[in-house]
């Protein structure tokens, strides 16, 4: 067992599961989506992205690309949340919450692709 591969797989799967936890709920109801959960998703996705920088294979490049897409969408969601809460006086509206959750859903799709690629790479390994 390679501890580096364990940590790599751990963070990829954790990023997906945390993002799923944030995404689940009514899309426009702010009570169903917590800001700390979005923060955790962003941090874990950033860690997973950093772990992918060392892989120089073609599969590693695709994994890095999917992770960068997820991070970009999550940072956009966090930015929207911060602007809505602190930049405007209106506070969180259902339309803005739906935008944030939609961006999180896009990032979750990128996380799913990462996990599928990781499983494919693992299955293709020869013993």
Model confidence over 45-89: pLDDT tens digits?
999 999 988 788 898 899 999 999 999 999 999 999 999 999 888
Residue 112 CA neighbour count, 13 Å, CB half: 7
Q: Which residues span the domain enclosing 120?
A: 3-125
| The total number of structural domains that make up the chain | 1
| Residues 94-127 pLDDT 10s | 999 999 999 999 999 999 999 999 999 889 887 6
Instruction: Using the predicted structure, report yes or no on whether residue 7 has a pLDDT greater than 70.
Output: yes
Q: Which candidate, 26, 31, 16, places its Cα nearest to that of 102?
A: 26
């Amino acid at each position: 067992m390679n501890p580096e591969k364990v940590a790599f797989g751990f963070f990829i799967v954790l990023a997906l599961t945390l993002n799923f936890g944030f995404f689940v709920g009514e899309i426009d109801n702010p009570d169903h989506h917590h800001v700390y959960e979005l923060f955790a998703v962003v941090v874990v996705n950033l860690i997973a992205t950093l772990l992918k920088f060392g892989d120089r294979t073609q599969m590693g490049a695709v994994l890095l690309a999917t992770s960068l897409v997820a991070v970009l969408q999550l940072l956009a969601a966090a930015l929207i949340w911060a602007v809505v809460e602190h930049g405007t006086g209106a506070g969180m509206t259902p339309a803005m919450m739906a935008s944030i959750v939609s961006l999180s859903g896009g990032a979750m799709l990128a996380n799913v692709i990462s996990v599928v690629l990781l499983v494919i790479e693992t299955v293709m390994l020869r013993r």
